Amino acid sequence: MSENQWTLIIKPKTGWFDIDLKELWLYRDLVSMFIQRDFVTQYKQTILGPLWYIIQPLFTTVIFTIIFGKVAKISTDALPPFLFYMAGNVMWGYFSVSLTSTANTFSANAGIFGKVYFPRLAVPLATVLVNFLQFFIQLALFLGFYLYFRLKGVPVQPTGWLLLLPLLMVQMALLSFGLGMLFSSMTTKYKDMRLVMAFLVQIWMYATPVVYPMSQIPEWLLSWYVLNPMAAIVESFRYMFFGASAVQLSQIALSWLITLLILFTGVVLFSRIEKTFMDTI
């Protein structure tokens, strides 16, 4: 049978930039199956199931309000502390969960990776997409409290930038996707990178304006601080809903630049490592 008669031809990929992203679209049904698998297996043997999506940010927000708002008395730029902390938790919650689960791609799926061919990028892509369910539930919870505070007369006003919320969500997904693939690639050879990543995520939250506003960062540190792409993402989210934030357009542009650089590096390294990871996993 001649080569032209085959509907799909699988060839070895050897180059660093030998990446066929079109395959992801061809395997979109498989991505959908991975999304369903991840959701079902995550909560199949839990009592409360998806209610954890509501309990976790609500409990965390209450703790932050007591510790950082009442005890430490950290400024929230005159915003209601409860809404301020919940806004940060909603954004950080999606990013941290997506990063952590994506970073375990190779180790968690070694069984199927070694048996059948499919584009490996489908697995981390499905992970990032399924976590949007958690984000939407927590966003709805935030909107409920947001409307409650507005009805109580609290002066919080959304801005026209709210229309760019989908774009902000895309950036957050791309950032967690790229970083997750970077860590996943490194954990195939260095197993202790899993511990490093868990520690890094905890520290990273305090290097992001989740429990404090960016306005509290001293001027001499700000130019380094904004190299954290999540800083502009969280502050942009607060500006969309509250109209109060210290974030600037130049910092948002820098955040996008770093996000795209991380995404590119992550995809290239992931595609390179997937060719040989079964030898080291």
Instruction: Give CA–CA dist 32/11, Å, rounded.
Output: 25
Candidate from 15-19, 151-155, 221-225 with smallest mean pLDDT: 15-19
pLDDT tens digits, 161-214: 999 999 999 999 999 999 988 888 777 666 667 777 778 888 999 999 999 999
CA dihedral (40, 45, 50, 53) positive or negative = negative
Distances (CA, A) of 168 to 17, 31, 171, 256: 27, 23, 5, 10
What the block records as the tokens of 136 is: 């939407």
Q: What is the chain's mean pLDDT, rounded?
A: 82
pLDDT of residue 250: 93
pLDDT of residue 109: 66
Instruction: Please answer whether residues 60 and 91 qualify as being in contact, where contact means their C-beta atoms are separated by less than 8 angstroms.
Output: no
Q: Which of 16, 213, 4, 210 is nearest to 96 (CA)?
A: 210
Statement: residue 30 has pLDDT above 70: yes
pLDDT of residue 77: 84
pLDDT tens digits, 103-160: 777 666 666 766 677 677 788 888 888 888 889 989 999 999 999 998 988 888 888 8
Of these ranges, 52-56, 73-77, 87-91, 153-157, the one predicted with the greatest mean pLDDT is: 87-91
pLDDT of residue 75: 86
Interhelix angle 249-273/229-242, rounded to 10 degrees, is 130
Of these ranges, 13-22, 212-221, 253-262, the one predicted with the greatest mean pLDDT is: 253-262
pLDDT of residue 185: 77
Phi first, then psi, for residue 186 (nearest 5°) are: -75, -30
Statement: residue 102 has pLDDT above 90: no
Give me the DSSP letters along 107-169: HHTHHHHTTS---TTHHHHHHHHHHHHHHHHHHHHHHHHHHHHHHTT------GGGGGHHHHH
Residues sharing a CB contact under 8 Å with residue 146, sequence separation 6 or more, in sequence order: 83, 156, 241
What the block records as the tokens of 244 is: 């109060």
User: What is this structure's pTM?
Assistant: 0.85
